[in-house]
Amino acid sequence: MPLLANRPCRLGPVGRYAPSPTGKLHLGNARTALLAWLQIRQSQGTFILRMEDLDPARSVSEYALQILEDLRWLGIDWDEGPDVGGPCSPYIQSLRNHLYEQVLSDWVERGLIYPCACSRKDLANLARAPHGPAEEGPPYPGLCRHLSPESWQEKYRKKGQASYRFLAPEGFLTYTDGIYGPFYQDVKAVVGDFVVRRADKVTAYQLAVVVDDALMGVTHVLRGDDLLSSTPRQILLYEALNAPVPRFYHVPLVLGPDGVRLSKRHKGTSLESLRAQGISPEEVTGFLAATAGLLPSPEPISPKDLVSLFSIDKLPRNPFRVTEKDLKLLGL
């Protein structure tokens, strides 16, 4: 599609960190950002910072500013981003809606997506079915896809709005993750036809992330492994765009002492509060590097000095559980 014809031509790999400004940057997100940055800096590629603020109910502009400040404090820089610009501006998703809409109208024409007027109640009823991973809910069985035009019109008239769903093909999709290795998923069986634009017209994460990574020429996607199961869906969208599929690297997450994924619920692990306690960026980086197998023990180091020590092969294949002792080490 002509949209892709405008992609910048760059030498070397292109990576990115794509935070959602829904909270403060904590040790877990900082680790993902650091690893994505190290991978690209080691291969002298281009590093992009993109703000994924599509969900108006959850995105807060103060967090966006704070995330940039915290990353800079840590010693991470970017060649393109919301504040420095670049050939793919804007680097803020809420300003890129026209691009997602262009893709959606092309896909409507090609019959790749269809409108869905299922109500929450229709879907809540489905939630009782015993399939699908807990966090996703059960697969969508294609209710609206199978309605006659008249029945669909009737359903739409009642609801007054519709989402768009991407038609999931039959069969397994396979890809090889740079960390996880071979990964298989039957998208249709696991999630069914999936939403690419919500009924309130907000572009779904799955679509926006693919359109942006494709248009920005991203070749390396290193991110938390909570997004591993989204990747087959995203590969289907790259294929629909006729865009090259990047290499994916899904890093096992950092868990808190309670065994739950580290998040803002774990008090004191935001970069802002670590900084406020007088912890240096080098101490934070050294701690993160040790959790990622790049240092044998947490020694203060700057991200720049860590570049030559980075290797995908060293990254752990299991989640890292932060202990109370680790937190004490950081003064928490």
Segment holding 306, helix H or strand E: helix 303-306
19/75 with CB nearer ligand GLU: 19
Measured between alpha carbons, how far is residue 171 from residues 130, 131, 222 in Å?
A: 20, 17, 26
Q: Does 212 bind ligand GLU (CB under 6 A)?
A: no
302: three-class secondary structure by DSSP? coil
**Shortest distance in whole angstroms from residue 22 CB to ligand GLU:** 8
**Shortest distance in whole angstroms from residue 89 CB to ligand GLU:** 18
> Distance (Å, rounded) from C-alpha 264 to C-alpha 177?
28
- By CB atoms closer than 10 A (0-12, 13-18, 19+), residue 127 is exposed
Residue 19 labeled ligand binder:
yes
**Shortest distance in whole angstroms from residue 140 CB to ligand GLU:** 22
**Shortest distance in whole angstroms from residue 128 CB to ligand GLU:** 28
State the number of binding residues for ligand GLU (CB under 6 A). 7
> Distance (Å, rounded) from C-alpha 213 to C-alpha 157?
36
Q: Does 66 bind ligand GLU (CB under 6 A)?
A: no
Q: Does 52 bind ligand GLU (CB under 6 A)?
A: yes
Q: Does 227 bind ligand GLU (CB under 6 A)?
A: yes
Mind telling me the catalytic residues? 264
> Distance (Å, rounded) from C-alpha 8 to C-alpha 10?
6
* Pair 295, 289: CB distance under 8 Å: yes
* Pair 20, 258: CB distance under 8 Å: no
Return the residue of 24, 41, 165, 223 that touches ligand GLU, per CB under 6 A. 223
Q: How far is CA 68 from the centre of its chain?
A: 17
Q: In the window 10-29, what residues touch ligand GLU (CB under 6 A)?
A: 18-20
Residue 116 labeled ligand binder:
yes
Residue 128 labeled ligand binder:
no
Q: Does 219 bind ligand GLU (CB under 6 A)?
A: no
Nearest of 284, 205, 298 to residue 18 by alpha carbon: 205
> Distance (Å, rounded) from C-alpha 211 to C-alpha 58?
21
163/231 with CB nearer ligand GLU: 231
28/192 with CB nearer ligand GLU: 28
Indicate the annotated binding residues for ATP. 264
Annotated binding site for Zn(2+): 116, 118, 140, 144
Q: Tell me which residues touch ligand GLU (CB under 6 A).
A: 18-20, 52, 209, 223, 227
